[in-house]
């Protein structure tokens, strides 16, 4: 089984961390292929960054389809381009925020998210309202460390744990969700300090994709996640247009602008 974990920002050092976290949990016989977006922002900390990270993400998904990748992780806590990626991929596509929040909801009555900059809290709330039942997400808290400064902070675990402890008290929650792929690998340290489950979306998403593929489950070709309709694309995105052959999901044809081969229903 081959799972592609896509870092939608363009910072290779973060991809190294993300790949290590995914490989640490992946089962035997699972090849984790961690890739860095070739185009877009160095980090994703705003709606603007998120919007402009999507073409690079989709190019990595399209390339994966040409390499017969079995499933994908979108390794950014804003889950950028998740629905669009599902229109391209034959296999499952899971976002790290999606996986972390679903996992947290299985472990307690309420969870709190600890993320990076305050301005990204709104997006985390939007996703919580999409993915989980009302009241499951009790709070979103920012440690105000920029994404690209996380790995330079020698006291990161202490800072995240301190904020997470305040969040548990303030929100009355039972579980902590790490709100950035760059915090991946902090679970044990933070959980040891607080005595509650701490969920990292990279690991949760990797194993969720692995489980779905093991069950033989793929993204549906019906309705909303059918391949994009063929039409001209111009300018910088000219290469993203789907051809007639690739645009028809009903015949089970390929979904990606560059992939070959048909897709089983």
Residues lying near ligand 5HY in the complex (CB under 6 A) are found at 9, 43-45, 76-78, 115-116, 120, 147, 180-182
Compare residues 186 and 254 and give the one whose CB is closer to ligand 5HY.
186
Cβ atoms of 60 and 85 closer than 8 Å: no
Cβ atoms of 97 and 126 closer than 8 Å: no
The alpha carbons of the chain give a radius of gyration, in whole angstroms, of 18
Report the distance separating Cα 63 and Cα 258, nearest Å.
Answer: 7
Compare residues 44 and 213 and give the one whose CB is closer to ligand 5HY.
44
Supply φ then ψ for residue 34, to 5 degrees: -90, 125
CB of residue 145 to ligand 5HY, shortest distance in Å: 9
Q: Which of 141, 252, 200, 190 is nearest to 22 (CA)?
A: 200
Compare residues 32 and 181 and give the one whose CB is closer to ligand 5HY.
181
Cβ atoms of 227 and 241 closer than 8 Å: no
CB of residue 50 to ligand 5HY, shortest distance in Å: 8
Compare residues 143 and 221 and give the one whose CB is closer to ligand 5HY.
143
CB of residue 1 to ligand 5HY, shortest distance in Å: 24
CB of residue 147 to ligand 5HY, shortest distance in Å: 4
CB of residue 73 to ligand 5HY, shortest distance in Å: 11
State the residue for tokens 């472990």: 107
Compare residues 78 and 227 and give the one whose CB is closer to ligand 5HY.
78
Point out which residues pair with 220 in neighbouring strands: none
Compare residues 202 and 242 and give the one whose CB is closer to ligand 5HY.
202
Q: Residues near 255 by Cβ (< 8 Å), separated by ≥ 6?
A: 65, 87, 88, 89, 90, 221, 227, 246, 249, 263
CB of residue 233 to ligand 5HY, shortest distance in Å: 26
Sheet holding 137-142, edge to edge: 137-142, 111-115, 175-178, 198-200
């Amino acid at each position: 089984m081959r799972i592609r974990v896509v870092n939608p920002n363009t910072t290779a050092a973060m991809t190294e961390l993300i790949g290590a976290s995914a490989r640490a949990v992946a089962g035997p016989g699972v090849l984790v292929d961690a890739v860095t977006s070739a185009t877009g922002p160095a980090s994703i900390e705003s709606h603007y960054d998120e919007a402009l990270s999507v073409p690079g993400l989709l190019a990595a998904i399209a390339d994966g389809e040409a390499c017969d990748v079995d499933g994908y992780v979108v390794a950014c806590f804003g889950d950028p381009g998740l629905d669009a990626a599902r229109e391209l991929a034959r296999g499952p596509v899971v976002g790290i925020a999606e996986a972390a929040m679903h996992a947290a909801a299985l472990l307690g009555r309420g969870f709190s998210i600890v993320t990076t900059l305050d301005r990204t809290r709104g997006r985390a709330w939007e996703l919580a309202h999409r993915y989980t039942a009302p009241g499951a997400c009790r709070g979103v808290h920012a440690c105000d460390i920029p994404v690209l400064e996380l790995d330079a902070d020698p006291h990161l675990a202490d800072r995240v744990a301190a904020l997470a402890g305040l969040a548990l008290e303030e929100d009355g929650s039972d579980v902590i969700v790490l709100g950035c792929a760059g915090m991946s690998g902090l679970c044990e340290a933070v959980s040891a300090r607080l005595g509650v489950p701490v969920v990292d979306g990279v690991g949760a998403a990797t194993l969720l994709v692995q489980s779905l593929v093991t069950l033989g489950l793929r993204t549906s070709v019906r309705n909303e996640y059918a391949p994009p309709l063929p039409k001209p694309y111009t300018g910088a995105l000219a290469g993203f247009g789907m051809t007639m052959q690739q645009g028809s999901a009903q015949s089970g044809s390929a979904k990606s602008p560059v992939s070959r081969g048909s897709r089983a229903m």
